[in-house]
Amino acid sequence: MDYDQLDATIDALCHSETDSVALMATVACELHHAHPLSDWTGFYRVTEPGVLKIGPYQGGHGCLVIPFARGVCGAAARSRQVQLVPDVEAFPDHIACSSLTRSELVLPVMNGQGQLLGVLDLDSNTPAAFTETDATRLAALLARTFRDAR
């Protein structure tokens, strides 16, 4: 995957935008088309304390509501830590929004004030589809893109 190109594209498209939903929609679209193994790429937004609701995404249907207490997305929101899961069957309390998902990468999305806006979720039908490089590069992209988001 060409992260330098993705960074340049996202930076150009999102320059000076502060609306979190607009940013999420743009990132989901560009990332989904750029990552060869991501079958579902999208955001779950924090809509009330302890609750994530589906946001902009690309791919098949997603879960509508995910509590912080459940699943990979909930773990990322709860801990504010990246969740790199090479085998979702081995993850305790995994929520199967799609029975085809085999691996997952979920990153917390925070603005520059440290407010948790949601999580970015990438799902793949391929086991171990995501790498530490994916996690590191996407974390940097999210920090930069959502710095001034509201």
- For residue 92, pLDDT beyond 90: no
Residue at 81 is within a domain: yes
Residue 94 has pLDDT above 90, yes or no: no
CA distance 32 to 26: 10
In this structure, what is the dihedral angle of CA atoms 49, 93, 88, 107, given to the nearest 10 degrees? 20
pLDDT digits (tens, 9 = 90+) for 30-87: 999 999 999 999 999 999 999 999 999 999 999 999 999 999 999 999 999 999 999 9
Q: Give domain status of residue 79, yes or no.
A: yes
User: Which range of residues forms the domain containing residue 63?
Assistant: 3-145
User: So what's the pLDDT on residue 95?
Assistant: 80
Residue 150 within any structural domain of the chain: no
* Pairing mode, strands 40-48 and 116-124: antiparallel
Structural domain count, the chain: 1
Work out the angle at residue 26's Cα, subtended by the Cα atoms of residues 20 and 29, and round it to the nearest 5 degrees: 135
Tell whether the model's pLDDT for residue 99 goes beyond 90. Answer: no
Query: What CATH code is carried by the domain that includes residue 119?
Result: 3.30.450.40
Strands (DSSP E) found in the chain: 40-48, 51-58, 65-67, 83-85, 103-110, 116-124
**Binning pLDDT at 50, 70 and 90, where does residue 96 land?**
confident
Closest by alpha carbon to 87, among 96, 79, 74, 78? 96
Tokens representing 48 are: 């009330």
97 band by pLDDT with thresholds 50, 70 and 90: confident
